Structure 1
Amino acid sequence: MWPKRQAEHKRISDALLKHSQSTRALPGASTQAARDALAMQFIASLRREDYYRVVQRKDIDPSKADPNSGVFDPERAVAYHMQNNDLEEAAWLIFLMTEFARPASGWKRLQDVYGKLGGGIWDWKTVSARS
């Protein structure tokens, strides 16, 4: 448990119990352990959102958005596209991040696909033109 989030974790877990008792049963969260696990997932998501807000506030080097640059970082690439008002490219990259979830090898599969195995960028403009 993240020490700064213990109170929030308890609040969420308690809210899940209250909802289950007063509004509608939550079969997947019927035990304290299950509610605690679900609350932990909520906390992890909130932490991720906090982290991403910090990333979005910083200037992003364009090379972070280029899958063939050697320093590609898909999370920063999304922020870069958002900062440059390219919402479609940001959304496309988020879709690819979801599709090619970060395995132990990092974002290599995503980088290979988005970067056309080093032969360009399979960006939204390219993909949507072929639909």
Structure 2
Amino acid sequence: MRKEDLVFAKATSKRLEAFEANVHPLPGIEDEEARRTFIFQIVESIRRIRFVQQVSNRSIAESRKDPATDYFDPVRAAILYKQVGDIDEASWLVFLFVHFGKNVKSGYRLIADVYGRLGHGRVWTWAEVSKDPLEFRHWLDKNQQNLKTLGGIHRGFGNHRKYQSLDAWKPNGTGEAVHTYISWVTDSGGHGKLFANALAAADDNPEEAFAHLYKEMNAVRSFGRTAKFDYLSMIGKLGLAAIRPDSVHFDGATGPVAGARLLFSGKLKSKGSSKKLESLSDSLASHLQVDKQVIEDSLCNWQKSPTDPVQFRG
């Protein structure tokens, strides 16, 4: 660990001890290796969040916006569009990033080839796709097989979206996800107004605005708990809206809930309700003075390898 990470890790260890003494036991980290590994995952999560913020402050090549190049990166592209005030395009790229994910083999190739129409014609910018969602769905229907096999190139969804369908018309397909996302955003007059309305309804409270949008995103098909949480968290991290997670949101979660069960009961399959675990996890985030996303992410990764520090990137 870096020097600043070691300092933070020591402070976190003391705060964990205080939480155990004053709020709730943490039997899952009574073992010293488990405790060390859990703290490691907290540090790793913070570093990932910090990395996004650091990238936002660096010079980014314009080629990162071009889906026709190997340099295309939807997150960096979103940062570039945000820097010139195009909140719609930046937020649309965040949606595509979360919907498709980053495949371990092909990286962002699937996003690039959908966004860039397989290199034929115009890019599916927000202006284009929101103007005529049905045109996008017809294009997707026509090119679905090409997106899977054209040129013998592998194109895949990321790990968290591996069961997602490219289908243009089925209720659980990409076409429906895109169409319902467009409707959700345009009903408010665009991303900027959507986020502004949420903040106004929350009296500019970042966490309450997150909760407001999280609930509203039920309108977006195929966007379950993880996708909603990741999308809104990234919107906040990129500064596209002044929001941050109000909770770890365990409704429908698996990995983070398993981690919370292990942490608070010492067992991966204890009988505690997910709502109770959610409340304890939110309280832990407050005591550790970290973002709720940090705890959600840390619990998910820690339960995969409770006593052996492993860096997870998927």
Using the size of structure 1 for normalisation, the TM-score is: 0.72
Say which structure, 1 or 2, has more relative contact order (CA 8 Å, 6+ apart).
2
Amino acid paired to 1:116? R
Structure showing greater Rg: 2
CA change 1:74–1:22 in 2 (3 A) is same
Task: Return the offset for 1:50.
Answer: 2.8
Identity level (%): 33
Q: In structure 1, how many angstroms separate the alpha carbons of the residues matched to 2:95 and 2:18?
A: 35
- Which 4+ residue blocks in structure 1 deviate beyond 6 angstroms? none
Distance across 1 between alignment mates of 2:91 and 2:25: 35
Assess, with a 3 A threshold, how the Cα gap between structure 1 residues 3 and 59 changes in structure 2: closer, same or farther. closer
1:31 alignment partner AA: I
Verify: 1:125 aligned to 2:127, yes or no.
Answer: yes
Alpha carbons 2:66, 2:72 under 8 Å: kept: yes
Contact 1:113–1:122 (8 Å) recurs in 2 = yes
- Greater Cα offset, 72-81 or 119-128: 119-128
1:107 maps to 2:108: yes
- Cα drift, residue 80 of structure 1: 0.4
Whole-angstrom CA distance in 1 between matches of 2:40 and 2:61: 33
Q: CA RMSD in A?
A: 2.7
Aligned-pair CA distance for 1:6 = 2.0
Segments of structure 2 that go 5 or more residues without pairing to the other structure are 134-182, 184-314
Aligned residue pair count: 128
Once the 2 structures are TM-superposed, how far is the Cα of residue 82 of structure 1 from its aligned partner?
1.5
Structure 1 gap segments, 5+ residues each:
none
* Match of residue 19 from structure 2: 19
Distance 1:24 1:54, change over 3 A: same
Give the deviation of 1:21 after TM superposition.
3.6
Q: Larger % of helix: which?
A: 1
Q: Which amino acid aligns with 1:44?
A: E
- The TM-score normalised by the length of structure 2 is 0.35
